Amino acid sequence: MERTDVLSPEQRRRCMSRNRGKDTGPEVALRVLCWSSGLRYRLDVKIIGKPDFVFIREKVAVFVDGCFWHGCPVHYNAPKTRSDFWEAKLRKNRLRDEMVTKELQDSGWLVLRYWEHDIKTATQREERAREIQAAIQTRRAEAI
């Protein structure tokens, strides 16, 4: 049985336009934890792909990918309306993610990508922050 949208097209458009592309809840929560652990990152760094936060000296770029916008294999549910549009959009998003990751890696960057659902709980965020810290320490050791 196909479920119809309970919102009008204008209401749906307004809701979707308010989705944030940066400073999302999961992203900010992970950043706060990293900062409180003593990791000093930068935001809005002008490199390809616009990572959510970056450790410039160590060349580590961190992305927090939203389950809907990046087509998470675990949580993504395709919209029932305009399915051709959404399928094409998400395919382009995934291709862009792959291209950005490859280009950054080819330039010597370590790219860490986390799904939004991988940092939902405090325990998950702490685990991701430890992974980031380990990556930073490894990159610093390699530079010596």
pLDDT tens sequence for the chain (144 residues): 455 667 777 776 676 666 666 778 889 999 999 999 999 999 999 999 999 999 999 999 999 998 888 888 887 877 788 888 888 998 999 999 999 999 999 999 999 999 999 999 999 999 999 999 999 999 999 887
User: The domain containing residue 62 runs over which residues?
Assistant: 20-143
Provide the residue type at 12 as one letter.
R
15 part of a folded domain = no
Residue 29, CB half-sphere, CA atoms under 13 Å: how many? 18
What's the structural domain count of the chain? 1
Query: Domain of 94: which CATH number?
Result: 3.40.960.10
12 part of a folded domain = no
13 part of a folded domain = no
Question: To which residue do tokens 């097209």 refer?
Answer: 9
To the question of pTM greater than 0.75 for the whole model, the response is yes
3 state SS of 4: coil
Give the Cα separation of 85 and 54 in Å (integer): 32
14 part of a folded domain = no
Give the Cα separation of 46 and 107 in Å (integer): 14
79 part of a folded domain = yes
4 part of a folded domain = no
